[in-house]
Amino acid sequence: MAMKGLLRVGEVALRVMDMDAARDHYGRCIGLIEVMEDDLGQVYYKAWDEHDHHSLILRQADSPGIDYFAFKVSDEAALVDLEDKVRNFGLSIERIEAGVYPKSGRRIQFVLPSGHTMQLYAEKEQLGNTLGYRNPGVIPEEGVIRGMRPVRLDHCLLGGTDLDKNIELFHKVFEMGISEKLIHHETNAVMAVFFSCSTKPHDVAFVLQPEPNMLHHVSFLLESVSDVYHAADWMGRNRIPIDVGPTRHGVTRGATVYFFDPSGNRNEVFTGGYVYYPDVPTLVWDTSELGQATFAHDNTPRESFLTVLT
């Protein structure tokens, strides 16, 4: 598959209220690798099988939530092309020089109709995954895979206003596929939409909310369903508050556990789902089957899952 344009969510920046507690949660408990702390006290992480320098940034603040998310694009030519397209769509573009964000090339930044700050970049320093690039083997050095055994940053679900305009941007401008959507069973209004720029069920998703710029969750990929249960056991041992799971979604068909960091940001560990191709028709759920769409084992929606965002 020739992937051009947007490749993946390459970076999510979260606000936390207690950095020491957050470091324990994301480092020891989840099992991400801390790679640096910058002069502002922000802490950077990667998962073991990510080659880029980092994919998660934590900043201490007075309230939890998301500062921005960033997609890596295929090359500099794609970044130039997308800058023109986003500007022509009607969004204001801020250019950010290389090096302003550590280990990263130049970026463009803009605010989505949903209120979220989004960045695009083509270059980031690579650290590798300890396997090397010749005769790499299959597992990293001893002690690298730990905690909940996260493989990579997988996706994020964001809450905000004006989903229709977001859909136009991501589908028509960014050329991302709409893998699934949830509509109101009476009005047909779009309540949630799932976008893929790869063969995954989703790379980013948005849910309609009365307030802009909200975080529903950031998700980390695990290798197997058995790893999902291992992660849930680890959450129990470490007294991490679980929101839902282990269970399986109807939307995306993924196996999942949702839980909270010490500041109240929702995290997810996720595995499975189906292979998505651009010619697959959009799967449509409506709110008469909200239980099965969200949690397909017991077909029961959870109020906290629908209402708690940061």
Distance of CA 66 to the CA centre of its chain: 11
45 is catalytic: no
Cα dihedral across residues 70, 72, 77, 81: positive or negative:
negative
297 is catalytic: no
Distance of CA 181 to the CA centre of its chain: 17
The residue from 45, 101, 121, 258 that is catalytic is 258
| Angle at alpha carbon of residue 283, lines to 310 and 164, rounded to 5° | 50
- Sheet containing 33-37: give its strands across: 33-37, 43-46, 56-60, 6-16, 65-73, 117-121, 107-111, 94-96
The residue from 45, 202, 216, 276 that is catalytic is 202
| Nearest CA among 68, 69, 67, 65 for reference residue 17 | 65
The residue from 11, 50, 180, 268 that is catalytic is 268
Residues contacting residue 20 through CB under 8 Å, at least 6 positions apart = none
In the DSSP assignment, the letter for residue 52 is: B
Decide: 273 and 252 in contact? Cβ < 8 Å: yes
217 is catalytic: yes
The residue from 45, 121, 217, 276 that is catalytic is 217
The residue from 44, 155, 180, 276 that is catalytic is 155
Q: Exposed (0-12), middle (13-18) or buried (19+): which is 41, by Cβ within 10 Å?
A: exposed
Residue 165: both structure tokens together: 């305009």
216 is catalytic: no
25 is catalytic: no
202 is catalytic: yes
For residue 157, what are the β-bridge partners? 205, 217
Task: Provide the annotated active-site residues.
Answer: 155, 202, 217, 249, 258, 268
